[in-house]
Amino acid sequence: MSQELILDEKLNTLKNLAWLLYIFHAASLVFSLGFLSWIPLIISYLKRDDAAGTFVYSHHSWQIRSFFWYLFWVILGVVLFITIIGIPLAWLIWVGAWIWKAYRLIMGFANLNANKAMPV
């Protein structure tokens, strides 16, 4: 087997894993409002170093950042919701955070399929 073929297979394996993690994040966003996204988060942390030196590494970082920013906005919404005064604002933040994470997942899918790195 040639060196180039081995590298292509490794890159395809890394790319397929990132693709599956995007799918899991998206399913979590739809079916549990993102609460199960901690599972692909852990996998991204564990597998990110395997993708070092490839464009796939940036996709793992993108997913990790997306998770934590989404978590931040959800928690902010919870704090506002508890105060009662901020209930309408909490709903606005939650909807905005959901749309924002959906956008990040779509951008990630599109760039992964085009073999492009995500912005750092």
The answer to whether 18 and 87 have CB atoms below 8 angstroms apart is: no
pLDDT tens, position by position, 74-111: 999 999 999 887 889 999 999 999 999 999 999 999 99
Q: Is residue 104 situated within a structural domain? A: yes
Tokens encoding 116: 């492009």
Q: Please answer whether residues 74 and 94 qualify as being in contact, where contact means their C-beta atoms are separated by less than 8 angstroms.
A: yes
Q: How many domains does the chain have?
A: 1
- Give the residue numbers spanning the domain of 87: 3-113
Look at residue 119 and tell me if it is in a domain: no
Q: Is residue 118 part of a domain?
A: no
Residue 103 within a domain: yes
- What percentage of the chain exceeds 90 in pLDDT? 87
**Which two three-digit tokens encode residue 67?**
């998770």
pLDDT at 120: 75
Which amino acid, 86? G
Query: Does some domain include residue 120?
Result: no
76 inside domain: yes
